[in-house]
Chains A and B, each alone.
Chain A
């Protein structure tokens, strides 16, 4: 069992490593091939950046095919503790930005999940049914929650980029 999970994470590492390298790349929406870029850039109005955060600690990463992968941040998974159950939406669910789309449960806490953008659910991480702990172990990779279409890319501008989210966490920790 554990070996299978390792192999799955290994293969998914390859598919996600390129987007991570290009996370901070400035890209024009029409560009199809990601270019590796190791610096950090500040998001600007017409740019698709690959990791953005909500104030409720969800993140969304825009993939090459324009679909958004959604998960919760490291800050959130640490606060929640060992996730024991993931309540995720059905594929095809239409969500408006900030709509509740599911819940994560730990032994002592329950957290509703809120959609970062408007769109339709196209895929749900079925691995979480048997292995909810992936949300804790790999919240940005194997512990992704769902994928959705992005009906209104301009909504991305209302989300925080990584530096802004880091600042936000620091401000609420005080």
Chain B
């Protein structure tokens, strides 16, 4: 057998090294969708490590390359066990590879609004929202979470695979703003980021917090001392569909924080493998697969991210392309798919019942919770209605599939 990894991970994971014939052929994307090459140990040394790197190895983490970082794809538990544990108890994910940015200054909201589709001014203090950097063609440059803190800065978390692109983009706009006399500054803090996700999160975390966690609802953020570690930013959000938080903490304290969380027997470490199957079950897009610079927010089904005011003022990149699409609709739409039989993966062709190609899968995997195959892809708009029967082509065979609403697995966001 020749194992092909599906999402952006390469030959060295799980101890299998590529022989000269290439034991593991890597296909598919993570962020950026490039084929990973076998690396020598010196090239591996050039990959970036989070402050939890040694900790991951000590805990049996199987390390793989992702977006220029060396990250755990799983630990000693199997992928499915780790996935299910997150849905039933609580898992910690190291997401320190993601880009964290703080935007300071009196004109920080104006600055941010010039780059994204959202109404930032209307956000309440400490409220967070999913937003999109767009380009002049109306394509999505990255998806991100922006929080309007009450500390005088906007706090932004964006994808690791777009870190260079995003920081160049923000710095270029910063330079323009400064020339125009605006008061704004960027900071890239030296902080680690962990996600603590699952129904047990609130009882696990409450033990380490003075503040009442029941008051921190989905998509709100606060500063707190967590298990004695000061200056943690705790945001009730995540990428699994479960109740959870992301905690930003100084890099020197993240091992301590993670160890303290792990003393609770309900908590286990989880890696990028489970992270991907969890987010797909929750219907959440993966940048580079499901959304990229060739997809507009309307095609991607992310119209809700576009602020009501912004639709009128059309003052974000690509607005002239995007806003008319809201009424006119688009030729293709992102949909969910469900099937049985062989799993549906990225690049699987989607066919109409008569066998014509009507789209392509952008990400897919067997769902550990549903025990069916789930996927996302783009199809011609005529086939985008939930319940539509379509086909997928896998290894030269056509198999039935059904367009499905998302999330595939009900979400459990905490609304108070």
Q: What residues make up the interface of A, taking CB atoms closer than 8 Å to B?
A: 55-58, 72, 75-76, 78-82, 84-85, 87, 103-114, 172-174
What is the CB-to-nearest-CB distance from B164 to chain A, in angstroms, rounded to a whole number? 26
Closest 9 CB pairs of A and B: A111-B1, A84-B366, A111-B3, A79-B16, A82-B80, A109-B3, A79-B14, A107-B79, A105-B343
Report the bound CA distance from A84 to B368 in whole Å: 9
Report the bound CA distance from A87 to B2 in whole Å: 14
Q: Could you mark each residue 1-32 of chain B with 1 if its beta carbon is under 8 Å from any beta carbon of chain A, else 0?
A: 11111110100001111110101100000000
Contacts of A104 on B, CB cut-off 8 Å? 1
Asked if B343 and A85 sit within 8 Å, CB to CB, the answer is yes
Asked if B79 and A81 sit within 8 Å, CB to CB, the answer is yes
Asked if B6 and A109 sit within 8 Å, CB to CB, the answer is yes
Report the bound CA distance from A58 to B1 in whole Å: 7
Report the bound CA distance from A72 to B1 in whole Å: 8
What is the CB-to-nearest-CB distance from A145 to chain B, in angstroms, rounded to a whole number? 10
Contacts of B9 on A, CB cut-off 8 Å? 108
Contact for A105 among B83, B276, B366, CB less than 8 A: B366
Report the bound CA distance from A80 to B345 in whole Å: 16
By beta carbon, the residue of chain A nearest B78 is: A82
Asked if A78 and B14 sit within 8 Å, CB to CB, the answer is yes
Report the bound CA distance from A17 to B8 in whole Å: 41
In the complex, B395 has a CB within 8 A of chain A = yes
Contacts of B368 on A, CB cut-off 8 Å? 107
Known: A72-B1, A78-B14, A79-B3. A108 touches B21 (CB 8 A): no
Asked if B16 and A110 sit within 8 Å, CB to CB, the answer is no
Report the bound CA distance from A102 to B129 in whole Å: 45
In the complex, B33 has a CB within 8 A of chain A = no
By beta carbon, the residue of chain B nearest A54 is: B1
Report the bound CA distance from A173 to B24 in whole Å: 13
B2, B7, B17, B80 interface centre (most CB from chain A within 10 Å): B2
Q: Beyond the given A76-B1, A108-B9, A114-B1, could you list 16 further A-B residue pairs with CB under 8 A, ordered by the A residue number?
A: A56-B1, A56-B23, A79-B15, A80-B1, A84-B80, A84-B366, A85-B341, A87-B395, A103-B342, A107-B273, A107-B365, A109-B4, A111-B4, A112-B4, A172-B23, A173-B16
Contacts of B17 on A, CB cut-off 8 Å? 172-174
Q: Could you mark each residue 340-370 of chain B with 1 if its beta carbon is under 8 Å from any beta carbon of chain A, else 0?
A: 0111010000000000000000000110100
By beta carbon, the residue of chain B nearest A114 is: B1
